[in-house]
């Protein structure tokens, strides 16, 4: 297996966990905070042996807030990756920031292009996957439309910032190709 593929698989575990935990926490927290009824049904013949059961009148409410928790989790992770790409990328980190990080013994925050863009690709995929789930839920009437609109605007904004950083990196490579180490 190639080094890049292994790295992509490694980086995909945390976002997948964020999606699953965000959805589950959203379901549980929404049912607890707003007093909606939630029960667990056990099936012995299914792949997932337990399934949450929600009354039809509470389904849209719980689905909306569980989608919201799921999206906030993955969008926070994607924003973290974009912040690392913009501010802590070793090819264009500001010397003043490097000095401040060195004084605080935090130089490990500065990462190379290989690490940042592999993590960025995975975060981008999972963010858009969560966004697709929300849009499908909104189109099928299981989620309120405002969540689909808000998540779409958020995903487009964060993606644009990452793409601007990639463009900046490409311009740096064009102007100083000898200063890059190719893996």
Give the global pTM. 0.83
Q: What is the pLDDT of residue 175?
A: 79
In terms of Cβ atoms closer than 10 Å to its own Cβ (0-12, 13-18, 19+), residue 76 is exposed
178 found inside a domain: no
pLDDT tens, position by position, 65-117: 999 999 999 999 999 999 999 988 888 888 888 888 888 888 888 888 788 88
46 found inside a domain: yes
Count of the separate structural domains present in the chain: 1
Residue 41's domain comprises 12-173
Rounded CA gap, 148 and 150, in Å? 6
118 found inside a domain: yes
pLDDT tens, position by position, 124-146: 999 999 999 999 999 999 999 99
For 46, phi then psi, to 5°, come to -100, 165
180 found inside a domain: no
The C-alpha angle with vertex 167 and arms to 116 and 17, in degrees rounded to 5, equals: 30
Rounded CA gap, 135 and 139, in Å? 6
134 found inside a domain: yes
Residue 183 pLDDT > 60: no
179 found inside a domain: no
Name the average pLDDT for the chain. 86
In terms of Cβ atoms closer than 10 Å to its own Cβ (0-12, 13-18, 19+), residue 130 is buried
165 found inside a domain: yes
129 found inside a domain: yes
């Amino acid at each position: 297996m190639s080094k890049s593929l292994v790295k992509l698989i490694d980086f995909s575990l945390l976002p997948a966990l964020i999606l699953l935990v965000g959805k589950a926490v959203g379901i549980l927290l929404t049912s607890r905070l707003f007093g909606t009824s939630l029960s667990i049904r056990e099936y012995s013949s299914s792949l997932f042996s337990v399934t949450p059961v929600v009354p039809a009148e509470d389904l849209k409410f719980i689905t909306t807030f569980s989608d919201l928790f799921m999206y906030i989790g993955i969008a926070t992770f994607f924003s973290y990756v974009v912040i690392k790409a913009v501010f802590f990328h070793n090819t264009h980190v500001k010397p003043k920031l490097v000095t401040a990080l060195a004084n605080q013994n935090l130089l490990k925050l500065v990462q190379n292009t290989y690490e940042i863009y592999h993590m960025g690709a995975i975060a981008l995929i999972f963010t858009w996957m969560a966004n697709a789930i929300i849009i499908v839920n909104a189109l099928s009437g299981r989620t309120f439309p405002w969540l689909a609109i808000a998540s779409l605007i958020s995903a487009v904004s964060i993606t644009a910032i990452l793409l601007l950083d990639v463009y900046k990196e490409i311009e740096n490579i064009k102007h100083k190709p000898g200063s890059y180490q190719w893996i």
